[in-house]
Structure 1
Amino acid sequence: MRWNLRLRAAEKGIWKSTEMRRLLADAGLEISAGKMSGLWTGTPTTIRLDDLDVICSVLGCSPADLLICEPEQVAARRPQRVQAVGEQQPVAPVARLGRQRSTPPA
């Protein structure tokens, strides 16, 4: 995920974290200067949903505007398995739910 707070704020004419912090306080969300700096300059590892709701309200956006999915990053994290020459690709077992039933005659 990529955090997009600064770009969304800039689109609303908010250029400084202190200005954003003041707008959040006016909306009922008191954020420390340190926490605001972290939200403004980096990607938070966690954020409270209540805080996200207030941020979205101030910026007039949705969480999807602030949290940008990066599927290529997810794919890059998957472990790569090296396959030996002549080795066949293993077949994953199929999970069966419920009782084990035989197939009806054709």
Structure 2
Amino acid sequence: MQTKTFLMLFSIIVVLLIDVNDGALAAPKLVAVKEESSKPTIICTAWKTNTDARSKKFFNENKPIISKKLQTIHKIPTTFVPKPSKVATQVVNGFLHHYLVK
């Protein structure tokens, strides 16, 4: 008799714990995902060959950093003067600028 009572009490506790835990111990429920047929999300704009004044100003403000990166990563000589050839922007928490350097 004690074994049946213990088993029943254990089962009730397990069921209550699963219910309180919102089924975390149970198998996950599959949810149908509704696919949207809207336009795809643009991650990065296309390369612009005409760099505007704002992007040129931003490039010139950061030219020492860009030059240092080019020298360390790509082994460019210190006499090289980088000039923006093309620019692309990406909207993330602000703007992310991608430059193609001449």
TM-score normalised by length of structure 2: 0.21
Would you tell me which structure has more helix in proportion to its own residues? 1
Would you tell me which structure has more strand in proportion to its own residues? 2
The structure showing larger relative contact order (alpha-carbon pairs under 8 Å, at least 6 residues apart) is 1
TM-score normalised by length of structure 1: 0.20
